[in-house]
Amino acid sequence: MDYKNILLDINEHIALVTLNRADKLNALNHETLVELKEVFERLKSDENVFVIIITGSGEKAFVAGADISEINKLNMLEGKVFAEFGQEVFSFIEKFDKPVIAAVNGFALGGGCELALSCHLRLASENAKFGQPEVNLGIIPGYGGTQRLARLINSGRAMEMILTADLIDANEALRIGLVNKVFPQIDLMSKAFEMAAKIASKGQQAIRLAVKSVKTVDEVSLQEGLNFEATHFALSCGTEDFKEGTQAFLEKRKPNFINK
């Protein structure tokens, strides 16, 4: 299936999702958000896909935000629907049990920063810039920025980024824990694929249970999280890959995972 604003390429268990409106710095209009949801629904049911990478087309932007030409027309009620739909799409990505890596190749502003925040891992090119500049437009972040940014870094730094609308560069993003790694732009995609391939080489039942377990940290108390972890650990003990992984270690050979 083809999409108007998104390129989807699946190879060797890795899906590459490219936001493809480079002339608008990959700004997320409604049509693109709808397509993004469709793409992720498709990837969820595709058993051949183990890991997803999201990036933006061109060398300038990951995503420069929600499309301001659409925001400009919103009234109050439409604003609520607008924010809730973006939140729904980004929560779907965040709750994906297959790992999602954001390869941030330039501006990640507003909805672009919020999209990166909803991914499980964030890699950035040296020219990447992150920010929540919504107050410059007289609005606030609406696709989860006030919540996910405060949880990922801390509320003080999130407050500073949101209230000043200042952009931060990739090295500052690395320093404050907003991204996992920074690479020269020319290496970004090969490094993202390298990480995705490493994850894809593991037993995928364990990978998915690990993603679900770590993601509970934002939603539950420590004790509830530990309960989830014990349950997910028990589930991993019921897999074929658990038998294979432990047996391979004892036999001093590489495991041959079958993802069951």
User: What is the smallest separation between the CB atom of 45 and ligand COA, expressed in angstroms?
Assistant: 31
C-alpha span between 72 and 78 (Å, rounded): 11
Question: Is residue 68 near ligand COA by the rule CB under 6 A?
Answer: yes
Sequence-ordered list of residues with C-beta below 8 angstroms from that of 116, at least 6 positions apart, any chain: 62, 102, 104, 108, 122, 130, 179
Which of 10/74 has CB closer to ligand COA?
Answer: 74
Question: Is residue 190 near ligand COA by the rule CB under 6 A?
Answer: no
Question: Is residue 7 near ligand COA by the rule CB under 6 A?
Answer: no
Helix (H) or strand (E) holding 80: helix 76-94
Question: Can you tell me which of 12, 41, 46, 69 binds ligand COA, judged by CB under 6 A?
Answer: 69
C-alpha span between 177 and 128 (Å, rounded): 14
Question: Is residue 191 near ligand COA by the rule CB under 6 A?
Answer: no
Using CB under 6 A, which residues numbered 17 to 36 contact ligand COA? 24-25, 27
**Which candidate in 134, 172, 194, 229 is catalytic?**
134
User: What is the smallest separation between the CB atom of 164 and ligand COA, expressed in angstroms?
Assistant: 14
Per-residue tokens: 168? 């931060």
Query: Chain centroid to CA 53: how far?
Result: 8
User: What is the smallest separation between the CB atom of 71 and ligand COA, expressed in angstroms?
Assistant: 6
Which of 135/217 has CB closer to ligand COA?
Answer: 135
N residues, the chain? 260
Beta bridge partners of 9: 16
User: What is the smallest separation between the CB atom of 66 and ligand COA, expressed in angstroms?
Assistant: 5
- Whether 84 sits among the annotated catalytic residues: the reply is no
Residue showing tokens 């606030």 = 140
C-alpha span between 96 and 119 (Å, rounded): 9
User: What is the smallest separation between the CB atom of 75 and ligand COA, expressed in angstroms?
Assistant: 17
- Whether 134 sits among the annotated catalytic residues: the reply is yes
The 6-11 sheet, strands edge to edge: 6-11, 14-19, 51-56, 100-104, 121-125, 181-183
Using CB under 6 A, which residues numbered 102 to 131 contact ligand COA? 107, 109-111
Q: Which residues bind ligand COA (CB under 6 A)?
A: 24-25, 27, 64-69, 107, 109-111, 133-134, 137
Q: Where in the sequence numbering do the catalytic residues fall? A: 114, 134
